[in-house]
Amino acid sequence: MGTLKTEPARTRTDLLAPPVAAALAQWPADAPVDVDAVLVAPIDADLADTAAFCAAYEVRLEESANCVVVAGKRDGVIRYAACLVLATTRADVNGMARRALDVRKASFAPMADAVELTGMEYGGITPIGLPLQWPILVDARVAATPYVVVGSGVRHSKIALPGPALAVLPNARVVEDLARPA
């Protein structure tokens, strides 16, 4: 994972947003991936955006994933989902994500809504600790990555974990072609 200095995330809750720390504390003992495989590393918050982060910490874009919050409305109710895609790709928001939400049109959720609803910082949103009713759509390429770096809920750290661990999060679903090459 490049030059990141990682350690077990559950021992460094100071590097995690509260919902992320809470989700790790409730990680099932019988999960296919042990909670200690979820690692965290401090980073410079000014380098949290993907391109700057990857360059500064020598993490390949193919090992870095972005979690984006999408929204759509049906019957007057806004539906949310998280899409997890590799940094080399872009989420197919109005294709696969829209169909998964079962809405006519989907778009990126407004930043203020995403931050308020997740309890995480913009630029650090991660699939770990999201609202339990939200579907988490994991691009198949992310789930197949041996170790992938994602946000930690805050901008001053990143989580590294096995890609298959993301596929077993509550409400997670692996989706073929959720993303298109960038």
**pLDDT single digits (tens) 20-75:** 999 999 998 888 889 999 999 999 999 999 999 999 999 999 999 999 999 999 99
The answer to whether residue 174 scores a pLDDT higher than 90 is: yes
Residue 31 confidence (pLDDT): 86
Residue 2 lies in a domain: no
For the chain, what percentages of helix, strand and coil (3-state, to nearest 5) are there? 30, 30, 40
Residue 110 near residue 69, CB atoms below 8 Å = no
Length of the chain: 182
pLDDT above 70 as % of the chain: 100
Continuous H helices in the chain: 18-25, 50-57, 98-101, 111-118, 140-143, 163-166
Residue 1 lies in a domain: no
Overall domain count for the chain? 1
Residue 149 near residue 122, CB atoms below 8 Å = no
Q: For residue 120, what are the domain limits? A: 7-181
Residue 154 lies in a domain: yes
CATH of the domain at 82: 3.90.960.10
Query: pLDDT averaged over the chain?
Result: 95
Q: Name the residue with tokens 């979820």.
A: 38
- Give ∠ CA 175-177-182 in degrees, rounded to 5: 130
pTM for the full predicted model: 0.94
pLDDT per residue over 149-168, tens digit each? 999 999 999 999 999 999 99
What's the whole-number mean pLDDT along residues 122-143?
Answer: 96
Residue 52 lies in a domain: yes
